Amino acid sequence: MHEDPRCSLANPLFCEVEQPGLGTVRSVRSPLTFMQSAMLAPAAAPLLGADTECILMALAGTSASELGRLRDQGIIAA
């Protein structure tokens, strides 16, 4: 792979993304292109648990006080 130019940054399908906790990683853009839109660069993956509170509140109806209790008990991270 390191010697194959099709898998290098010379190929517009590939780019580098700064991934928190890992550093710079090679990533793949979407192969789909549209005439009226620029090719979007991929974003870093979310950190594990980054959306836990939002999901618990939106989907499970968890209250702010319940989230506090879950954090205090170490069930979810702060």
Residue spans per domain, the chain? 1-31, 46-78
pTM score, whole prediction = 0.55
pLDDT at 47: 87
pLDDT at 72: 94
Q: Per-residue pLDDT tens for 52-74?
A: 999 999 999 999 999 999 999 99
What SS3 string covers the chain?
CCCCHHHCCCCCCEEEEEECCCEEEEEECCCCCCCCCCCCCCCCCCCCCCCHHHHHHHHHCCCHHHHHHHHHCCCCCC
Q: Per-residue pLDDT tens for 5-30?
A: 888 888 888 899 999 989 999 998 88
